[in-house]
Structure 1
Amino acid sequence: MARNHNKMTREEAGRLGGLATAKNHGKQFYQEIGQKGGEATSRTHDRDFYQEIGQKGGEATSQKHDKDFYRKIGRKGGESRNKT
């Protein structure tokens, strides 16, 4: 979207807000808010919900990517586990 009378688009404002937040907070901040969000979500959804969205996500991803994609990410995951 083009700017209108020097006004920022929502995308630009969101990006700048995200950059400012990242600059002011460290990894621990994001871990804490992620944990809080996960805890809140787990109270409102059951195991079946997560299985269903996981299956839908897997199906959508498999339609977008070929076997070579999965080989590459599997290799990267294996490499990162070996580093720890």
Structure 2
Amino acid sequence: MSGGTGPNPIARTSPDWRIPLLGAAVLTLLCVGIFWDFFFRQVRFAINQQADWGHTLVIPLIAGYFVYLNRERLLARPFRTTWIGFVPVVL
């Protein structure tokens, strides 16, 4: 029996895992830059009108918690990309 944990298609020591991370960071910065006014208004609504909009600040935390709970399953899957996801972004 071998002592390894099995083959990893993208090892963290390889520079290949940095490319998707860099792409996600650039895409995040672009989205924040483009929708900055919308995000700013959402935060103002959440603070000024808490009865209707107060929950909007908690939703990203809940989504992040679900990602954290399923991190092992998400990291176990190989990273794959497809161009079909670009179509709704362009539209």
Query: Which has a greater percent of helix?
Result: 1
**Fold conserved (TM > 0.5)?**
no
Larger RCO, structure (CA 8 Å, separation 6 or more): 2
